[in-house]
Structure 1
Amino acid sequence: MKPMFESINLSANTSLKVETYENGDYCESAGWHIHPEYELVYVKNGTGQLNIGPKKIPYTNGVLVFLAGNIPHGDFGNKDHDDNLEIVIQFGKDFFEEKLKVFPEFSEIQKLVKKSEQVLIFDKQTHQMVWKDFQSFREIDSTQRLIKLLSILFQLSKGGGYTPLFENLPMDNYRKEEIERLEEIFEYINKNHDGKVSVEVISSQLGLTPNSFSRFFKKMTQRRFLDFVNEFRTSKAVEFFNGGETTITGVMYQCGFNDPSYFSKQFKKYQGCTPSQYLKSRYQADF
């Protein structure tokens, strides 16, 4: 079974995406999926199974795993214990390949990042050593998160307490050109979601006709392009609401919707409730 492509939605003016999940939090499973971003995942406790590439690796009492982009995998977390916590950190390849490489002080981190192509599973001692660092991501701002991530990666690069899951990971399911083409589509959506997203424009950029573009996107994601864009836009709306913006019309326009009824319908379809219901549940005291 081919994995679904997942588009990682980075907020404006940030280099990484951080999601934290407690036991009772709702986390929509991506299932068997793939994305071009690096992923560092910390699971505090509980028992589960890592499904990465062709391998299935059980873990007990939590896990810490680091994998490069374009490696198919399943979800990592579990809900065994009430106090469990899962922190997922994702960042684009340009973060390391273009930005950090100019600093020789980050050479050890660069080596670790390169090794993540083999998928690194860290030992229990390392898992425990960095627990407080990961825990702090819930309370710190975006600048502090970047600094904290670099600190964690430096600790991991110096500790050496990991086991590579693969010597080499074959990527026979997808050709390199297909992955690069899909990355370009995701980048186009990310940059233009607040305005007009045009099949004609993006298909022309890729050297495809609109019909061949639609077939390619459906083949790679098992979804229609318009459905994908609408879900992306509603996830952006959730970001704005969570960031303190409570004017539905303003958020609607910022996400590329122009019709309140259509916005409400799409939001309910992909987020499970209307925008006003979402705001009431999140800011109950203010509504």
Structure 2
Amino acid sequence: MNEVFLESKTNDVFSQLSIEALVAEIFERIKNNHARAIFKKPDWVKKLQEIIIDDTEANFSLTFLSSQLDIHPVHLSRSFHKYFGTTLGAYIRHLKLNKAILLLATEKSSMTEICYKCGFYDQSHFISTFKRVYRVTPSEFLKRIASC
């Protein structure tokens, strides 16, 4: 709504078009939030999230997770994207990388120590995964945050 207000104060030839687009986006967000509010997640979704977040270093298998949740592995595999917006592997990978970013920013540990703390097989696997997702190496990331 703030953008609509600011656009109304700009008042040039594109203001009306921008306001219409912003209002349409607002209504779409309201509709999507309403649909999400109605949609109730099963109990296993929260339990799964807790299992994975509690131990990002573990190498989980679909069989292990489904047995912990008391659901079929195929159901877990098919339903995961619906509740998390990504695949199970990508979700775990991002949690590991988020933990790595926190450790890089707050600890003076070596890259090897950080990669093992985050559950990566070795340092080269950690660095290549980090670079594929964030488009920079962990060292470049450290340099960038140090310069801020």
TM-score (norm 1): 0.39
1:171 aligns with 2:37: yes
- 2:96: which partner in 1? 233
List gaps (5 residues or longer) in structure 2: 5-24
1:280 CA displacement = 2.3
Structure with a larger share of its residues in helix = 2
User: Tell me, what secondary structure is at the counterpart of 1:195?
Assistant: coil
Of residues 259, 262, 269 in structure 1, which corresponds to 2:125? 262
Are residue 47 (structure 1) and residue 22 (structure 2) matched?
Answer: no
Q: How far did 1:215 drift?
A: 0.6
Distance change >3 Å, CA 253–CA 271, structure 1 → 2: same
Q: How many residues align?
A: 127
Give runs of aligned pairs for residues 62-141 of structure 1, distance below 5 A. Answer: 72=33
Equivalent residues of 2:112, 2:122 under 8 A apart: no
Change (3 A) 1:171 1:53: farther
From the two aligned structures, give the one with the greater strand fraction.
Answer: 1
Question: Of the candidates 172, 182, 194, which is equivalent to residue 45 of structure 2?
Answer: 182
What CA RMSD, in Å, does the superposition of the two structures yield over aligned residues? 3.0
Identity %: 25
**Structure 1 residue 53 displacement after superposition:** 9.0
> Structure 1: 5+ residue runs without aligned partners?
1-45, 57-70, 74-168
Give TM-score scaled by structure 2 length. Answer: 0.70
SS in 1 for 2:37: coil
Describe the superposition over 1:25-75 as per-residue Cα deviations: whole angstroms up to 9, x where unpaired: xxxxxxxxxxxxxxxxxxxxx93479599639xxxxxxxxxxxxxx949xx
Q: Distance in 2 between matches of 1:170 and 1:209?
A: 25
* Equivalent in the alignment of 1:248: 111
| Alpha-carbon separation, structure 2, partners of 1:191 and 1:204 | 17
Shift of 1:268: 1.4
Aligned-partner residue type, residue 121 of structure 2: N
- In structure 2, the partner of 1:195 is 58
Deviations 1:161-205 (CA, angstroms, capped at 9, x unpaired): xxxxxxxx9832x2342xx32211111111110233332222112
Among candidates 54, 76, 84, match of residue 213 of structure 1:
76
Contact 2:48 2:65 in 1 (8 A): yes
